[in-house]
Each structure stands twice: as structure tokens, then as C-alpha cells.
């Protein structure tokens, strides 16, 4: 467990992440993380890429060591799960193992997905983690795209200091979103023309607008309330 936490925290400070990541709340009771980025794809294409974690999730943050073992059933009570292959030299007849990373609470294709579960080392702790992902149409200088926002709310008893674990989880989620953006393709934005700092510090991984914008703040509400605020009333998700 400690080894996995070290892997999560190591080597990310110098990573240039074209996404905004922030620990927006933190206390002894838990923490809230928001990560956002924009891709050059429709909400439908962004959604379809997201629900195939085997194609973009970093294998360093799996239990099996291979992203191909990940699956996500994007329907209520569906599982974000991982298969644990039978190890070499195992006794004859030993069955493959499995891991439930998160469970789906709400799924509205192309608009919003909500899951619950403790990621990584949080799985061993007495905490509840709720992640809300929204897919919002946006305009970029190169055309239309999608803004993907993750909000991860964690609370309960854990044997980690909030300062340590929240920062580690924040960086890992930013890394995962970067991988998804690379797969789908980043949406060109005027802010990309700004000169990036030569030595980014450990708390700054953003070259895009802050995730604390008014529409992003609504992610902490019920999914319906969030969607009502983020999308125009009566608007429909684009066809696949």
C-alpha cells in the first residue's frame, strides 16, 4: 500500500499537464479534488473514450500492472473493475482475481457519470469517495470540443494525513486526464499561446482556465442540478 502511494506521488511535479487540477477543499474529515480539461471531440466521442479505461488509464496505477485488464460498465450499479490474471506458477485450477475500483451510481451518456469508491490506497481505508464526471460542449479556436470535469469528494476515517494523500490523488487524477486528452486530442485554446513557466512547482499543473469557474462548482450538487446549471434548459446531448 505504501509502495502504491509512493508511485502515485512520484515524478509528477515536472509534468506539463494541459489540464487544470486543484485540491479545492481539505480537512481532517476529507478532501475535494477538481480536475478539468478540454478535448477536440464531441461529448459523445469524449464519453465513449472515457468509458474505455483500458485505452488510456496509466498501468502504473493498476493492481495487475496492465491497463488492458480494466473495464467500465457505464450503467447504474455497473463496475469500474480490473481483472487480476492467474500468476505464473499458480496451482492448477486457481481462478483469476478481480478488483472493484468504483461502482456507478448515475449514468447519462454524453453528459454525466457518477461513481463511488476509494481509488488506489484509499480502498483500504474507511472512507467514501464520490466522483462526478461531466461532459460539456465548448468552443475552441480550432472548432467545437468538450470540457471534461472530474470532481472527487472523499470523506471518512483514514490513516493518511489529508495533506499527503490529497496532493497525491490530485496529481494522479491530473495524469490520468492528461492521458485521456492525449488519446482523444486536445482542444486548441488561446491560453495555450501563453509562455509556460520554466520550472512549474508541485502544486501547479495547469495551463488552462481554473476549475473554480461557476459552472464547474455546480458539479458538487446533485447531478440533475449540475446539469441544469451547466447546460441550457431543454438542450439535448449531441447524437453519437
Bigger pLDDT: 68 vs 211: 68
> Looking at residues 227-236, what average pLDDT do you find?
59
Contact by Cβ (8 Å): 128, 155 = yes
Class level of CATH domain 2-82+96-191+200-230: alpha beta
Positive or negative, the CA dihedral 153, 156, 160, 162 is positive
> Looking at residues 233-237, what average pLDDT do you find?
51
Q: Is the pLDDT of residue 217 over 80?
A: no
> For 208, what's the count of Cα atoms within 13 Å in the CB-facing half-sphere?
26
| pLDDT, position 143 | 81
| Domains in the chain: boundaries | 2-82+96-191+200-230
Mean per-residue pLDDT of the chain: 80
Using DSSP bridges, classify how beta strands 79-84 and 70-72 pair: parallel, antiparallel or unpaired.
Answer: antiparallel
| pLDDT, position 218 | 59
> Looking at residues 26-39, what average pLDDT do you find?
95
% residues pLDDT > 90 (the chain): 65
* Pairs from 73-77 (Cβ < 8 Å, separation ≥ 24): 73/104, 74/47, 74/104, 74/107, 74/109, 74/113, 75/104, 75/107, 76/104, 76/105, 76/106, 76/107, 77/103, 77/104
% residues pLDDT > 70 (the chain): 70
Q: Is the pLDDT of residue 22 over 70?
A: yes
Query: Could you report the per-residue pLDDT of 123-170, keeping only the tens digit for each?
Result: 999 999 999 999 999 987 778 999 999 999 999 999 999 999 999 999
Q: Is the pLDDT of residue 240 over 60?
A: no
Q: How far is C-alpha 181 from the chain's CA centre? A: 11
| pLDDT, position 21 | 84
Q: Is the pLDDT of residue 204 over 60?
A: no
> Looking at residues 85-111, what average pLDDT do you find?
95
Q: Is the pLDDT of residue 197 over 60?
A: no
| pLDDT, position 135 | 97
Residue 20: pLDDT band (50, 70, 90) is confident
**Bridge partners, residue 150, by sequence:** 35, 133
Query: Could you report the per-residue pLDDT of 35-89, keeping only the tens digit for each?
Result: 999 999 999 999 999 999 999 999 999 999 999 999 999 999 999 999 999 988 9
| pLDDT, position 225 | 64
Quote the strand ranges of the chain, DSSP E.
Answer: 20-27, 30-39, 70-72, 79-84, 97-108, 112-116, 126-140, 143-157
Q: Is the pLDDT of residue 3 over 60?
A: no
> Looking at residues 3-27, what average pLDDT do you find?
57
Amino acid at each position: 500500500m505504501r509502495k502504491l502511494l509512493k508511485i502515485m506521488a512520484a515524478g509528477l511535479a515536472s509534468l506539463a499537464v494541459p489540464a487544470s487540477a486543484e485540491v479545492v477543499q481539505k480537512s481532517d474529515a476529507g478532501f475535494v479534488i477538481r480536475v478539468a480539461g478540454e478535448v477536440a471531440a464531441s461529448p459523445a466521442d469524449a464519453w465513449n473514450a472515457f468509458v474505455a479505461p483500458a485505452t488510456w488509464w496509466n498501468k502504473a496505477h493498476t493492481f495487475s500492472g496492465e491497463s488492458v485488464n480494466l473495464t467500465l460498465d457505464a450503467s447504474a450499479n455497473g463496475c469500474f473493475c480490473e481483472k487480476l490474471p492467474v500468476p505464473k506458477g499458480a496451482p492448477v485450477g486457481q481462478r483469476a482475481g478481480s478488483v472493484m475500483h468504483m461502482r456507478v451510481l448515475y449514468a447519462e451518456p454524453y453528459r454525466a457519470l457518477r461513481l463511488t469508491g476509494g481509488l488506489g490506497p484509499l480502498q483500504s481505508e474507511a472512507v467514501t469517495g464520490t466522483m462526478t464526471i461531466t461532459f460539456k460542449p465548448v468552443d475552441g479556436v480550432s472548432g467545437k470540443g468538450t470540457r471534461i470535469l472530474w470532481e472527487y469528494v472523499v470523506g471518512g476515517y483514514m490513516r493518511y494525513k489529508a495533506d499527503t494523500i490529497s496532493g497525491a490523488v490530485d496529481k494522479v487524477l491530473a495524469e490520468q486526464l492528461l492521458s485521456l486528452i492525449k488519446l482523444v486530442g486536445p482542444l486548441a485554446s488561446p491560453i495555450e499561446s501563453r509562455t509556460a513557466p520554466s520550472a512549474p512547482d508541485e502544486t501547479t499543473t495547469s495551463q488552462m482556465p481554473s476549475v473554480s469557474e461557476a459552472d464547474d462548482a455546480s458539479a458538487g450538487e446533485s447531478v440533475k442540478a449540475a446539469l441544469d446549471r451547466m447546460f441550457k434548459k431543454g438542450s439535448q446531448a449531441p447524437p453519437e
